[in-house]
Amino acid sequence: MAALNCFHLAIPVSDLDQTPAFYEIVIGCSRGRESDSWIDLNFFGHQLVLHRVGQDAQQDRGTLTNPVDGEEIPIPHFGIVLEWAAFDRLVARIKSAGTDFLIAPTTRFEGRAGEQRTCFLIDPSGNCLEFKAFRDLGRLFSKNLGEYD
């Protein structure tokens, strides 16, 4: 698969101490530029910016879900697609940090074209994250993820 351009994502956070610590310690991000109201993080080679907002802004977002392969998936969420072994290493890192999963690591569409491993977390500011790995990364944008090989 060809290299992709880096994305930039800015998310709201209620705490610029606890939330960046989660990304740095639990996920393994490194810190870039920062100010009194935002912090840049290197999120697997992409730019994730934590913007401090009031507590009210965080509470007003609500929780929506969408059913996917037997799970209620939180909307909105963001994350990264990793290589199979990198996913395992990240899951081990998350577990060793004592962080709870919103949705524990699982395999979806097992034995089918879109076979993937996935897990979900919530950061200290209530943002939902998904980490996943495809058995065959070339199927990332396949229209027939559920078909059997």
Distance CA 19, CA 27 (A): 11
Predicted confidence (pLDDT) at residue 70 exceeds the cutoff of 90: no
- Higher pLDDT: 72 or 32? It is 32
Helix locations, the chain, DSSP H:
18-21, 55-59, 84-96
- Residue 38 resides in a domain: yes
- Whether the full predicted model's pTM is greater than 0.75, yes or no, is yes
| pLDDT tens digits along 104-136 | 999 988 888 888 999 999 999 999 999 999 988
Domain tally, the chain: 1
- Residue 86 resides in a domain: yes
Cβ within 8 Å of residue 3, ≥6 positions away: none
Question: What percentage of the chain exceeds 90 in pLDDT?
Answer: 64
For 115, phi and psi rounded to 5 degrees? -55, 130
The answer to whether the beta carbons of residues 110 and 118 sit under 8 Å apart is no
- Residue 22 resides in a domain: yes
Q: What is the mean pLDDT of residues 44-72?
A: 78
CATH number for the domain harbouring residue 33 = 3.10.180.10
The answer to whether the beta carbons of residues 119 and 105 sit under 8 Å apart is yes
Residue 120 belongs to domain spanning: 8-54+64-139
| pLDDT tens digits along 83-95 | 999 999 999 999 9
Query: 90-123: buried (b, 16+ CB within 10 Å) or exposed (e) per residue?
Result: bbeebeeeeeeebbebeebbeebbbbbbbbbbbb
Q: How confident is the model at residue 146 (pLDDT cuts 50, 70, 90)?
A: low
- Residue 28 resides in a domain: yes
Predicted confidence (pLDDT) at residue 56 exceeds the cutoff of 80: no
Distance CA 98, CA 93 (A): 9
- Residue 144 resides in a domain: no
